[in-house]
Amino acid sequence: MDSDEVETGSEPKLPELKLDAKQAQGFISYFRRLPENEQAVRFFDRKDYYTAHGDNATFIAKTYYKTLTVLRQLGSGADSLPGVTINRSMFETIVRDLLLERTDCTVELYEGTGSKWQLVKNGTPGKLGSFEEVLFASNEMQDTPVVMAVNVTIRENERCVGLAFVDMTKRQLGMTEFLDDDLYTSLESAMVALSCRECIVPQLTAAKSPDDRKLRDVMARCNVLVTEKKKSDFRSRDIEQDLGRLVKGPPEQHKELVAASDAAAAALAALLTYTELLSDDTNYGKYIIQPYSLDLYMRLDAAALRALNVTESKTDANKNFSLFGLMNRTCTQGMGKRLLNRWLKQPLVDVAEITRRLDTVQAFVEGLELRQDLRSHLRRMPDIERLVNKLEKRKAGLQDVVRLYQASLRLPLIRTCLSKYDGEFSEYLQEKYGSHLEEWTQPDHLGKFDGLVEAAVDLEQLQNGEYIIAADYDNSLQELKTERDSVEKQILKVHQQAADDLGLPAEKSLKLDKSTQYGHVFRITKKEEPKVRKKLNSQYITLETRKDGIKFTNAKLRRLSEQYTKLTEEYSSTQRELVAKVVDVAATFVEVFTGVAVLLAEMDVLLSFADLSCTSPTPYVRPSITSADEGDIILEGSRHPCVEAQDDVNFISNDCRLVRGQSWFQIITGPNMGGKSTFIRQVGVNVLMAQVGCFVPCDRAEISVRDCIFARVGAGDCQLRGVSTFMAEMLETASIIKSATERSLIIIDELGRGTSTYDGFGLAWAICEYLVEVTRAPALFATHFHELTALAHSNAPPVHGPPRGPPVGIANYHVSAHIDTKSQKLAMLYKVEEGPCDQSFGIHVAEFAHFPESVVELARQKAAELEDFSAAEKDVSGGNTKDEVGSKRKRVSGLDDKARGAGRVRKFLQEMAALPVDKMSREETYAQLKALKSDFDKDAATNSWLQQMV
């Protein structure tokens, strides 16, 4: 680091803030005049280091230095301003965190001195802008930021969402319009699928309505920065003209898109204004625009993404905790990783497309040599996507062109690997990859690019780390070089002459130096100086006398040195001009390289899947895929890939059979820590992996494609945002009720945990009923409400109108545990077995944990009061005893009580659901709920079944 650093005990080393009182005063007055912006973190570039001030300083001190002692006061008294200094690498770290990890800040960088400063860089999580260079200079790009704009109109009680997005790295625009429910479920899945980081919404003029709140809740759930823009920005008047400039190809397509949706066009207009794409003419004619369809991919909401551990989290103790971490074995620089990230959020729904990916993975799994060879080539592939981007923006240098050249040289080798493979899918691989590679590597395609680089670049200098244009590429460059070489020779001659003249051996005593200040000079040590002082004074010109020696020259050397410097300058400027020309020509190849990048990234991800599938301790298998309306979901010997990959886990595999009409809806009970949650999640994870195109951790798998996975597991971090656990459960479950269809997969864990027993149980029961009767989606419902297992045998008539088809089939499963009488240990077996759970574990556990005998005895008595171990199972199971193996606990209450009780619970829930919560204040909501609850309590007093729960 260039600046002085101060070390304060164990505190971090920080650059010293060097401002005198006047400078400090000037700066403070400038700083105080800056417009308020709570989101902005402002940095001031002080050449060798950066500073931040005011609240920003405190924020940085707390968040990144983890101590306030790093704060320094500028000025004194009431006007003083806290500040913190930041060195260059810390600055990069902070900016990276602010723009790539967090989504609640924007970053501004100012340059200047005293009281004169200027905003020079401005970035937001969606619009990295000029910070892109800072952020990715030394790091691979993990994700490409996507900014969205959303324009909601409510007509006749219907929410119409106009959505537009831009991916500035890929130069893609997209737009769509759709009707959404009041929880914005579809918008949420679009945000997840597009990895949106920032969303532009129209500024609110009045106070927030419940609808606005819900919109913002969705953004918060998806960790998206909300940026408000003037309503007038959302006007589509000039959009056709603007798109005409930005978008490549004929205008018909974008005209059609704009005409199809006014709301989306308005959103796109706001987006173009915000991203300022039109103010940079390197963007003109470079963008593509596509209609976006929500039905292209499996829908995932933020809760599902979390429940299935799809993406990496900073807190992950190891990379295998997330599906991304586990599946990422990509080896190209950046490209594969980014594609995997996208694919995981966009699982396919089209059987043919999934099959094609699986075919490729199978080819790679079976063709060991093919896989290894391809990976060894891909390992050496640079981030072509990013290089192409630099080329298009004219920010590329010769080094970037050379890297593309090196990539291009490898393409024929990749083609050869593919053509050597003669397995089952050779024809497909040839068609999908080989044919493109063949075309691109022809002499009139990339052959021309290679030729350009070979002619223009001095490839021999690459080993010295120099990227220069070869002299023989251009006559004037050649002339300059020849001339400069000759001057250099003369300089060496003069050096030798002087050495002879002074009687000092050249190189050893009389050195020839090259400095920026004097050009070529002679140098001797101070020790030698007395020997030659006389001559030095008479025939040479002394330039500098310092500790490290004396620098001097003579008329001849000076003249030659001046000549040399001039020639070098001319040579460099000719080099620069030529580099610019070469980069310009190279930029005409961006389309081919874009194609190459797409192909290699895809191959990289599929190779990564294959690698994971066959190198896992128990290899994965290819799932057989059927459309959403046919087949079942059968996973034999299935595992949770992330839990299985943990070092200390000996994973027990399980079967899952979601069979239409038999076990399409499964209730899973079992002791705490028994593996319920892991099991139901692993089903979701397996389905997701299959639809991404990967093999699955099973012995055999059949999967009927799902268009959506809904997962509700735990209340997440909602409490932090002031939403109670119960409310969060209600909200997440409401979105399942509203949006799930027969083609979805539903995973629910411990619903009702966040509330008192009877509310929770009632809610769980009512939701199960709804899912079974109305939604009819395959579902896995893990619960601690043992009473729910009665649902499988419930003969109660449907509550949601006439049946919508044959029964979906409800089945009970439980996770097993074993009590070893010898070792006195309770062992979780993690085996999922048919039937509901044996719930007597609690007392066994207490006994073996050496609870006092009296306590265990009392517990037994109490249990006996509640349970009738000898009661005929028929009583409660509605005649079906088969599934009750192992279930000892039975309620004493009769069927009548139970049916009436369930009816009362249903009534309670209907009343609760009918409350217009949207329009009520929090206090009103609680008051109404209290009233409903008190009514319920009264009825519960006369129903023994309900009493047991209250």
Ligand X SMILES: Nc1ncnc2c1ncn2[C@@H]1O[C@H](COP(=O)(O)OP(=O)(O)OP(=O)(O)O)[C@@H](O)[C@H]1O
Q: What is the Cα–Cα distance from 391 to 402, expressed in whole angstroms?
A: 12
What DSSP state is assigned to residue 180?
A: E
CB of 648 to ligand X, least distance (A): 8
- From residue 815 to residue 844, the character string flagging contacts with ligand X as x (rule: CB under 6 A) and all else as - is x--------------x--------------
- Note whether 136 binds ligand X by CB under 6 A: no
333 vs 638 by CB, closer to ligand X: 638
- The beta-strand segments (E) located in 762-809 are 779-782
Cα–Cα nearest to 896, from 942, 937, 933, 862: 942
CB of 723 to ligand X, least distance (A): 21
300 vs 713 by CB, closer to ligand X: 713
Q: What is the Cα–Cα distance from 445 to 449, expressed in whole angstroms?
A: 7
Question: 């969205």: which residue's tokens?
Answer: 148
Q: Which residues contact 67 (CB under 8 A, 6 or more apart)?
A: 11, 61
CB of 652 to ligand X, least distance (A): 4
Q: Are strands 810-820 and 665-669 parallel, antiparallel or unpaired?
A: parallel
Q: What are phi and psi of 9, to 5 degrees?
A: 55, -125
Q: What is the Cα–Cα distance from 334 to 326, expressed in whole angstroms?
A: 16
CB of 639 to ligand X, least distance (A): 7
27 vs 830 by CB, closer to ligand X: 830
Q: Which residues contact 427 (CB under 8 A, 6 or more apart)?
A: none
CB of 446 to ligand X, least distance (A): 50
Q: Which residues contact 926 (CB under 8 A, 6 or more apart)?
A: none
CB of 688 to ligand X, least distance (A): 18
Q: What is the Cα–Cα distance from 672 to 353, expressed in whole angstroms?
A: 40
CB of 949 to ligand X, least distance (A): 19
660 vs 676 by CB, closer to ligand X: 676
CB of 889 to ligand X, least distance (A): 17
Which residues in 327-356 contact ligand X (CB under 6 A)? none
- The beta-strand segments (E) located in 203-303 are 225-229, 288-291, 299-300
CB of 691 to ligand X, least distance (A): 23
Paired residues of 289 in beta bridges:
173
843 vs 895 by CB, closer to ligand X: 843
CB of 678 to ligand X, least distance (A): 3
Write down how long the chain is: 950
44 vs 785 by CB, closer to ligand X: 785
**Span between the terminal Cα atoms of the chain, in Å:** 67
643 vs 737 by CB, closer to ligand X: 643
- The beta-strand segments (E) located in 580-706 are 624-626, 633-638, 654-658, 665-669, 700-704
CB of 924 to ligand X, least distance (A): 34
Q: Which residues contact 447 (CB under 8 A, 6 or more apart)?
A: 441
252 vs 648 by CB, closer to ligand X: 648
Q: Which residues of 772-796 are buried (b: 16+ CB within 10 A; e: fewer)?
A: bbbbbbbbbbbbbbbbbbbbbbbee
790 vs 815 by CB, closer to ligand X: 815
CB of 711 to ligand X, least distance (A): 13
Which residues in 665-704 contact ligand X (CB under 6 A)? 670, 672-678
42 vs 640 by CB, closer to ligand X: 640
Residue pair 445/415 in contact (Cβ under 8 Å)? The answer is no
Which residues in 643-662 contact ligand X (CB under 6 A)? 643, 649, 651-652
321 vs 609 by CB, closer to ligand X: 321
Q: In which element (H, E) is residue 512 found?
A: strand 511-515
Q: Which residues contact 896 (CB under 8 A, 6 or more apart)?
A: none
818 vs 882 by CB, closer to ligand X: 818
Residue 170: both structure tokens together = 């890929």
The count of residues interacting with ligand X (CB under 6 A) is 14
726 vs 830 by CB, closer to ligand X: 830
Residue pair 268/173 in contact (Cβ under 8 Å)? The answer is yes
Residue pair 452/410 in contact (Cβ under 8 Å)? The answer is no
Q: In which element (H, E) is residue 193 found?
A: helix 185-193
Cα–Cα nearest to 300, from 782, 734, 744: 744
Residue 591: both structure tokens together = 């389309």
CB of 4 to ligand X, least distance (A): 51
Paired residues of 696 in beta bridges:
621
Cα–Cα nearest to 940, from 896, 894, 897: 897
673 vs 855 by CB, closer to ligand X: 673
Cα–Cα nearest to 679, from 740, 754, 748: 748
Residue pair 625/355 in contact (Cβ under 8 Å)? The answer is yes
Cα–Cα nearest to 631, from 701, 580, 682: 701
- From residue 252 to residue 291, the character string flagging contacts with ligand X as x (rule: CB under 6 A) and all else as - is ----------------------------------------
- From residue 798 to residue 817, the character string flagging contacts with ligand X as x (rule: CB under 6 A) and all else as - is -----------------x--
91 vs 830 by CB, closer to ligand X: 830
Q: What is the Cα–Cα distance from 647 to 941, expressed in whole angstroms?
A: 52
Distances (CA, A) of 411 to 29, 37, 122: 59, 50, 39
- Cα dihedral 216, 220, 222, 227 sign: positive
53 vs 306 by CB, closer to ligand X: 306
Distances (CA, A) of 197 to 153, 268, 556: 23, 16, 64
Question: 């920026």: which residue's tokens?
Answer: 516
Q: Which residues contact 822 (CB under 8 A, 6 or more apart)?
A: none
674 vs 901 by CB, closer to ligand X: 674
Q: In which element (H, E) is residue 337 found?
A: helix 335-345
173 vs 656 by CB, closer to ligand X: 656
Query: Site residues (CB under 6 A) for ligand X?
Result: 643, 649, 651-652, 670, 672-678, 815, 830
